[in-house]
Amino acid sequence: MADCEYGQDRHCHMKDVLSRYGTTLTGAMVLATFVWLVGMVILPYLVMVNYSFRPNLLPADIGTDKDHYTLDNYATLFRNEIHFIVFLRTMWGSALATFLCLCVSYPVAYYLAKMATPARTATLLLLLVIPFWINEILRTYSWFIILAYNGPLNGVLRLLGIIASPIRWLSGSNGVIMGMVYAYIVFMVFPIYNAIETLDRNQIEAARDLGAPLWRIHWRVVIPHAKPGIAVGCITVFTAAAGSYIVPAILGAPGTRWFTEIIYQWFFEGQNWPQGSAYAFLLLFLCIVFVMAMMRLFKVGLADIAR
C-alpha cells in the first residue's frame, strides 16, 4: 500500500488511472498514445533509416540492380573534410553552449529555489518564460539586431567606455553561441530549479553550522542532490543546440555553418534524401552518445532523470 502511495509500483499507477477515468476512456488514451507514437515517431524514423542505406537514384532506377543497401551515405561524412569539420564544430559549439548555460543557470536556479521569496520566485519565473511566448525566429532576429556592428550592444559598451571601437560579435561562432545560450537557457534553469527545490533546507543550514564554506556546501550538498536536474538540463540543451537550425542560420557567419544547415541542404536543395537521412542519423547517434555520457558522468539512471 505504501508503494502505491509513493508511486513506486507501476501497477498501482495503472489501477489509479483506471479508477479515475474508467476502462473506456483509459483505453482510448492508451490507443491514441500508441497511434501517435507509431504514426508520428516510429514509422517516419523507419522510413528515414531505409532511405539512409540506399543510394540516391532517379525514379526509373528504383527497383533495379542499382537499388541496393549501402553504407556510402554514412561514409560520405568521413570522406568530405569540410562536412566533417562542420560536424566537429557543431559538437564543440553545442557542448560550449551547454556549459555556458549551466554556468549561468545554476546560480539563478539556486537563488529561485532557496533564497528568493515565493512571490519573487513566481515573478522571476514568469519573466523568464514571457520572452518565449514570441516566435523563435523573431527572438533570433532581435539578437541579430542587438549584436550588429552598429547595434545597441556596441553602442552601450562604447558609451560606457568599455570598448574604443565596435566589436564584430557576429563573426565566427560568437553570435551563434550567444544566441544558443539565450534560446535554451530556460531548459537548463527549470530542471535544476525543480531538483534544488526538493532539497531540505536543514541540510544546508547544518553544513553552514558545521563551518563549511559556501563552495563546499554547494559541492558536497547542493550539487549532489541536483545531479538529476543538471543531467536533464545538459541533455536537453545539448540536443536542442546540436539540432538547431534557425539560430545558426541567422546569427552564423558564412564560414561557420552548423551541421543542421548541411542536412537541410541535402534534403531540400540537393534533393538527396538518402544522404540527408544518413547525416541526420549520425547527428542523432552523437546526441545519444552525449546522453549516455551525461548519465554516466552524473551517475544517474533513467528513473532519476524522469523523476
pLDDT at 12: 62
Q: Which residue has better confidence, 15 or 280?
A: 280
- Alpha carbon 3 to its chain centroid, in Å, reads 33
Burial class (CB in 10 A: 0-12, 13-18, 19+), 141: middle
Query: Would you say 177 and 90 are in contact if contact means Cβ atoms under 8 Å apart?
Result: no
Query: Would you say 207 and 222 are in contact if contact means Cβ atoms under 8 Å apart?
Result: no
Give the residue extent of every domain in the chain: 1-52, 71-305
Fold classification of 71-305 is MetI-like fold (1.10.3720)
What average pLDDT score do residues 112-118 get?
A: 90
Digit-coded pLDDT (tens) for 31-40: 898 999 898 8
pLDDT band at 307 (very low <50, low <70, confident <90, very high): low
pLDDT band at 6 (very low <50, low <70, confident <90, very high): very low
Digit-coded pLDDT (tens) for 66-80: 888 889 999 999 999
Contacts of 52 (CB under 8 A, 6+ apart): 73, 74, 274, 277, 278, 280, 281
What average pLDDT score do residues 37-59 get?
A: 87
